[in-house]
Structure 1
Amino acid sequence: MTSTSSEPDGFEAWLRGRVPERGLRSKGASVLEVLLTQPRRVSYSSAAETAELAGVNVATVSRTAQALGFSGWSDLQQELRARYLSSLSAPEVAAAQQTEGELGGASLRRDLDSLALLNRRFDEQLIRTIAEAIARARRVVIVANGSYYSVGSALGHNVQLAGYEATVVHDDAELANALSRTEPGDVLIAISFWRLYQSTVTAAEEAHARGARVFALTDAASPALTAASEEVVLIPAEGVAFFPSLAPGLAVAQAIAAQLSAVDPERTRRSIEAAETQWSRFRLLHRRPRLG
């Protein structure tokens, strides 16, 4: 590991912070030690391989994962890898993954695997909570930077189409101005993956301090982002080469928008009809529906 492992927001602090107060039994402690000392290796190992490294059986690895607050090894491994990769630079990430074969196909397969994991983890109630918060909000601010802006932009576009006001912010000056107007009754959705943008974390902290409801979409929330957020949606975001995957984040954005459309179907219907009228007026679409 890098030196970040000893910092409050580092890998080691995160993992040790999940150990229950009663501690772990000796065999569980052996598994924990392997996780702490060989994070790269176990991030890409099976439960059986991890068990061999720790000198225990596979059942002990599964029980240790559950003791640390995960449903099993696969869920622990996913977040373990996200935390490990977040400690690396872009060149180090590419070297750590060591993807074989054509990267285009590897990228597609990685996205399919991540979507399958997302589906297994999917929490309908959590998505409903976010959608209902958006519907009740006085004002919705969506914060996303870099390539993650695509996730925020898609979410903001569809929130507006569903009949609700939302602003997508990726400029730091604009973000500071938006936060200066934040108050109770507002909602802030913070979207950031991999090493996290500091401005996004700061926005979440400021919005929380001002009484707004904060929700985070991320692959591995920092303690600061977790503390500021009412709910955190953990989304697999590992890609290939230098690039985090955006497909699972976009899928969650679409899920939130779809659920939002069911909160007040009549409001959404009116909004979509009004938008359709303007699309026709401005002749935006190459193919237009027939009238009458």
Structure 2
Amino acid sequence: MTESTTAEADGFESWLRARVPERGLRPKGAAVLEVLLTQPRRVSYSSAAEAAELAGVNVATVSRTAQTLGFSGWSDLQQELRARFLSSLSAPEVAAAQRTEGDLGAASLRRDLESLAVLTRRLEESQIRTVAEAMARARRILIVAHGSYVAIGTALAHNVRLAGYDATVVHDADLANAVSRIGPDDVLVAISFWRLYQNTVTAAEEAHARGARVFVLSDAASPALVATAEEVLLIPAEGAAFFPSLTPGLAVAQAIVAQLSTVDPKRTRRSIEAAEEQWSRFGLMHRQPRRG
């Protein structure tokens, strides 16, 4: 798929129309779809009742249309619609598009709480287990992250290593060299939110072509990544200002590692005990734990 074709596939219209069933939509459902296509900015921040008013239908029709398009309801459809809408904007445009009332600091905390609630409803436990079990079986784990998302990748890699498994977070110039060594016994975790990094797409494509298992942590199911990934974990990442939130992504990273620690508890315990011993030898901690 060429870059221009990929961009078109990621666009609002192609994405939404691809979700319409072969039998099509009934007239009222088509009216909802038309509003989604023509007024993405507005409906990205509208309630189901407001979307219904724009389409000239009732709220039940909005919910049914969302389900027909493959979502559990309006809130899930809106979440991905907003992620795709925001990914099309520059940083100043993102700030302008936000509808934030009052203090931005407090608004950021509220947004994170809302996103975590959405994440709890949306993310399936089986997805977390699949990623964790794949990591446990992998020869090594390559975690790809860029920009501020390196923070999520670094936290994930650090804790995966503590759990007793070989994990490395890579980005920028190191990425090409790391991907050149990936193989069928490896796992690649691609982490990207808001505007998708091309390097992340390329790494996922190469890893998939080389037989590695690929997993994606993102706020939108980009066709460029879906085509290569075994699982796409959809994670809200909208912030309250210029910056996408890292909080939900970090929460999922923690969930993956928590699950990983249960796959081979003895291995994880040995790894953590060995790390604790080295922390003591290097004198890293201000206070040393009591020896039991």
- TM > 0.5: yes
- Deviation string 1:36-66 (CA, Å, 9 cap, x unpaired) is 0001111111101100110111110000000
Q: Show the counterpart of 1:30.
A: 31
Mapped partners of 1:143, 1:238: distance in 2: 20
Do the aligned partners of 2:123 and 2:233 also contact (CA within 8 Å) in 1? Answer: no
Q: How does 1:123-142 map to 2 (within 5 A)?
A: 123-142=124-143
Deviation of 1:21 after TM superposition, in Å, equals 1.2
Aligned residues: 289
Question: 1:61-76 residue pairs with structure 2 within 5 A?
Answer: 61-76=62-77
Contact 1:192-1:218 within 8 A present in 2 as well: yes
Q: Give the fraction of aligned pairs with identical amino acids, expressed as a percent.
A: 81
Instruction: Judge which range, 247-256 or 281-290, deviates more.
Output: 281-290
Paired letter, 1:269: R
Residue 218 of structure 1 deviates from its aligned partner by 0.2
| Structure 2 residue aligned with 1:89 | 90
Provide the C-alpha distance between the structure 1 equivalents of 2:212 and 2:234, rounded to a whole number of angstroms: 21
Please give the per-residue CA displacement for 1:208-233, whole angstroms capped at 9, x wherever unaligned. 01110000000013211110111100
Matches within 5 A, 1:1-292: 7-171=8-172, 173-292=173-292
Is the 1:5–1:11 contact (alpha carbons within 8 Å) kept by the matching residues of 2? no
Report deviation, 1:11: 1.5
In structure 2, C-alpha distance between the alignment counterparts of 1:181 and 1:158, rounded to whole Å: 23
Q: CA deviation at 1:287?
A: 1.6
3-state SS of the aligned residue for 2:102?
Answer: coil
After TM superposition, the score normalised by the length of structure 2 is 0.97
Q: Which runs of 5+ in 1 are unaligned?
A: none
CA distance in 1, matches of 2:148, 2:160: 20
Work out the CA distance in 1 between the residues paired with 2:124 and 2:7.
32
Q: What is the Cα deviation at residue 170 of structure 1?
A: 1.6
SS of aligned partner of 1:99: coil
Distance 1:55 1:193 in 2: 33
Kept in 1, the 8 Å contact 2:162–2:272? The answer is: yes
Contact 2:6 2:223 in 1 (8 A): no
Look up the equivalent residue of 2:169 and give its one-letter code: V
Partners of 1:161 and 1:90 in 2: how far apart?
Answer: 36
* Offset, 1:291: 2.3
Report how far residue 276 of structure 1 moved.
0.3
> For the residues of structure 2 that align with 1:32 and 1:19, how far apart are their CA atoms?
9
Is the 1:5–1:13 Cα contact (8 Å) retained in structure 2? no
* Per-residue deviation, 1:5: 12
Query: Which letter does structure 2 place at the counterpart of 1:248?
Result: P
Letter matched to residue 128 of structure 1: R
The 8 Å contact of residues 32 and 62 in structure 2, kept in 1 or not, is answered as yes
| Runs of 4 or more consecutive aligned structure 1 residues displaced over 4 Å after TM superposition | none
Match of 1:212, as an amino acid?
Answer: A
